Amino acid sequence: MKAMVFKGPHKIAVEDVENPHLEDPRDAILRVTSTAICGSDLHMYDGRTNMEKGRVFGHEIMGVIEEVGDAVSSIQVGDRVVLPFNIACGFCFNCVRGMTSACLTVENPDGVGAAYGYASQGPYQGGQAEYVRVPFADFNCLKLPGTPGDEFEEDFLMLADIFPTGYYGCELAQVQPGSTVAIFGAGPVGLLAAHSAFIRGASQVFVVDQSEERLAIAEQLGAIPINFREGDPVQQIFDIRRANPLITESLRPGEEKMPGVMCGIDAVGYQARSTDDPDHQEDPSIVLQQLIRVVNPTGHIGVVGVYMPQDQEAIDNLAKQGILKFSFGKVFEKGLSIAAGQTPVKKYNTYLRDLIIAGQAKPSLIISHSVELDQVSEAYRLFDWRGIGEGKEYTKIILKPEHNHYHSDKNYLN
Ligand code: NAD
Ligand code: ZN
């Protein structure tokens, strides 16, 4: 089959690789109809992880079941499904509590949890390919209605990772009806965090980035765009709230000490650009620092942007070990909560699917491009610009593998 193969930093090729096969009776083989490039793939593409050459990336995967092992009972050949990016068993201590991001029985010498085609997440191959092996298929396949290529194809693909991840950012930041929210990052995750915040009933949502194109999508979703190139984003948020008489006239004495928002979400992660010199420098703690400033006393911060325990390319020796400088004193003084981590997708994907089916959510609004798997190398190059310069129009890219050798009596694509 054809798959993308990692050749080293900024180098990707499409090659013929061995087809996956059933390795355990609980496995299934999925024929991939759509897969996407994630901001998380860029950390590996940029050479900012320990990912080895020769691996296939891709953890946002949907398609049609091609083959099932003898022990698989609830999923059949021909079923249309989307996979959570986490591979999980469903029966360990963490899975039974819904924390499938920390599954204890999947293969991973580096720690807990596993994912398709991801650094430090086990040996599993990714799904930017024509086929992928699905371990623990009964647990990991989310069944979908309809047929491949229909009106929901791209919405359902967002259930693999970034819609649940945007939603999880809101969960960690405790967004509820009436909440005020500041989201840093208008990439796919930040944008779907904004969409999720409104679904949860937020009253006001700010989205901070430097990409005008991505901020325009945030605005279409109902959020207030904040470009950090136009000044300190925290001050911009304070100023907008202070300039609104409907907010200021309802304040009682003392409430001016709450000039920011109650919920903050980091959808950027450790490759954050310095807001003072975005063209030349990174600043891995800037988003955390700004969140600590913009969130009001007793508020909550959810961190879904990725941070790594090792990063050889980081700006200083502490950051190389994942140790960041931010004011824990302020966190304590303000009584903030900070919660972080990989999304346990399985905990949310069923409900988010049903919001899509009911017409209450439309995560595909953020998709900018859909290309053939053959064009994966150029797609990574453009997406790596993260919404500026040559890649300014590339917000979220879907890859379509070809399936010349697929036969079925059902009427699928091709
Ligand atoms: P992306 O790289 O396309 O988006 C990141 C955005 O952050 C870009 O638009 C960039 O301009 C912006 N940005 C950079 N520096 C900034 C700053 N100082 N302030 C505000 N915005 C800034 O990626 P994405 O797909 O949206 O993913 C975002 C993050 O979420 C990545 O770190 C990714 O690895 C992570 N992620 C985590 C999970 C999880 O399970 N927790 C799942 C998926 C993705
Ligand atoms: Zn992802």
pLDDT digits (tens, 9 = 90+) for 266-288: 999 999 999 999 999 999 999 99
Say if residue 216 is in the same domain as residue 357: no
> Stretch 242-247: mean pLDDT, rounded?
97
Q: Tell me how many domains the chain contains.
A: 2
Do 67 and 149 sit in the same domain of this protein?
A: yes
Task: Check pocket membership of 41 for ligand 1, CB cut-off 6 A.
Answer: no
Does this model's pTM top 0.75? My answer is yes
Residue ranges making up the domain that contains 275: 162-340
What was the pLDDT predicted at 402? 72
Asked if residue 90 lies in contact with residue 139, where contact means CB atoms within 8 angstroms, the answer is: yes
Give the mean pLDDT of 64-68: 98
Ligand 1 neighbour 211 (Cβ under 6 A): yes
Q: Is 342 in the pocket of ligand 1 (CB under 6 A)?
A: yes
Answer yes or no: is the C-beta of 187 below 6 A from any ligand 1 atom. yes
Mean pLDDT of 43-63: 97
Q: Has residue 398 got a pLDDT over 70?
A: yes
Q: Are residues 319 and 173 in the same domain?
A: yes
Q: Is 191 in the pocket of ligand 1 (CB under 6 A)?
A: no
151 with 216, same domain? no
Q: What percent of the chain has pLDDT over 90?
A: 97
Q: Quick check: CB of 185 below 6 Å from ligand 1? A: yes
Are residues 39 and 151 located together in one domain of the fold? yes
Instruction: Tell me which residue has its CA closest to atom 25 in ligand 1.
Output: 39
What CATH number corresponds to the domain at position 51? 3.90.180.10
Ligand 1 pocket check: which of 49, 51, 268, 390 to mutate, most ligand atoms within 8 Å of Cβ? 268
Residue 269 Cα to ligand 1 middle (Å): 6
Higher pLDDT, 101 or 403: 101
